[in-house]
Structures are given as C-alpha cells and as structure tokens.
A = this chain, B = another copy of it.
Amino acid sequence: MSTQISEATTNRLSVYLRCLNKLDAEGIRTVSSKVLADRFDLNAPQIRKDLAHFGELGVRGVGYYVKDLKRQLRQILGLDLHLKVAIMGAGNLGLALADYSGFRLEGFKIVALFDNLNEKIGQQSRAGVPIYDIKDLRRIAMREQIVIAVIAVPFSSAQEVVDKVVAAGIKAILNFSPEALRAPDKVKLKNVDLTVSLESLSFYLARGMGGNSV
C-alpha cells in the first residue's frame, strides 16, 4: 500500500502498454483485467493493483477502455514528455542504440553520442545523431536538456563514465554493461540484462529437445 512505485511495477506498466497497443491495433475497444491476463498470461489481481496506484482507470462493468488506458499509461510513463537521451560510447553498441527506431517510436529523442576517441568526435551515427567529445558532456547536457544517459562503453570504463554523467547533472542512467555500477541515490540507475530474453528461448529448446543431447 506504499505510494512508492517499484521498478518491477513500472516494468509491468510497460508490458501492459505493449499489450494494449496490440489490442488497439486489432480494433478491440474495451478489455477487463481478466481478459488481459488470460490473453497475455499476466496476473489479473496484480494488473488491478498496479493500475490502482494511479486512480480509477477502469469502469465498473466494462473494464478498461483500451485507447483511454493506453493514453493514461503513456502519460504515467512520461512518454508524452519526449525526454532527451544521450548515448555514452560511440562503439558498436552505442551506434546501434542511437539509431534504434523503437526509442523514437515511443517518443524518446536521442540527441547526442559521446566518446573520447578523436576519430569519432565530430562524426555522426547513420541516422544523424552527432558524436561529441565526452569532455563537453556537462555543457551539451545542459544545452540539449539531456535527462537520460545510456551507458554503452566497455566495462573497464563504465564506472568512470557514470561518474561523469552524474557530475553533469543527468538524473537517470540506463546501463547495458552486464556488471553492476554505482550511482548516488538521487540518480536512478537501471540495468538492462539482455540475457533474460535468450534464456526464454533456451528454456523452450531444452523442453522441446526432451532428453536428447545437443
């Protein structure tokens, strides 16, 4: 019953939004928490509890209006703010993330890449995101109103880059390095673990293969 919303809850809100996008694309206008749970293998009481944090989003006897709940979730998730994002590191991962169309589709604006290699600084990603000198991070973060930094540098320099991001006043960090990094409490640090998605496939293969060795 706390008013603090956990990361697990916000992850679920994102999942609900994806489900609603699918229902909306199919032309479905209303949905109950039970139908949503059955269709996408979620937990109906948890859906109701998660959404109840944000007031009365459902309508008794109807459930949720798909388009309304989508709009409300986008607002709750801050997607209507069109937040500015910087990618730290213009290596393979950084360049791939800078041009990842999913971020733009949901309303994020990738405005800058940062690196410390002279041959990269002044260049841009294929989609046109400029690569700046990491020494200019603080100045450019203020000028461009950057509020999220994505860490896409090798682990050996990841903590150092996080410290620079924090010093530049950026308040939220997404970390793609598989190791844990430290940031002060006032900064929100989220780790992305790409392995989870691969594990879901290996589970399927391990079951499908039965007792066979591969």
Q: List chain A positions with a Cβ less than 8 A from chain B.
A: 5-11, 13-15, 17-18, 40-43, 46, 76-79, 81, 83, 85, 91-93, 95-97, 99-103, 105-106, 108, 145, 147-148, 150, 152, 155, 171-174, 178, 188, 190, 192-209, 214
- On whether the beta carbons of B46 and A43 are closer than 8 Å, the reply is yes
Asked if B101 contacts A198 (CB within 8 A), the reply is: no
Interface centre among A42, A83, A202 (most CB of B within 10 A): A202
Specify which of A96, A150, A197 lies most central, judged by the most chain B CB atoms within 10 Å of its CB. A197
In the bound complex, residues from chain B placing their C-beta under 8 Å from that of A148 are 198, 201-202, 205
Count of chain copies: 2
Q: Which of B81, B92, B192, B206 contacts A197 (CB 8 A)?
A: B192
A-B contact pairs, 9 of them (CB 8 A): A5-B203, A14-B196, A81-B202, A83-B202, A93-B100, A100-B178, A102-B193, A172-B202, A190-B201
Q: Is the CB–CB distance between A196 and B103 below 8 Å?
A: no
Beyond contacts A77-B199, A81-B209, A93-B96: 15 other A-B pairs, Cβ-Cβ < 8 A, are A7-B200, A18-B193, A46-B46, A76-B203, A77-B202, A77-B206, A81-B202, A91-B96, A101-B155, A102-B178, A106-B198, A171-B208, A172-B201, A190-B197, A190-B200
- Closest-CB distance, A42 to chain B (whole angstroms): 6
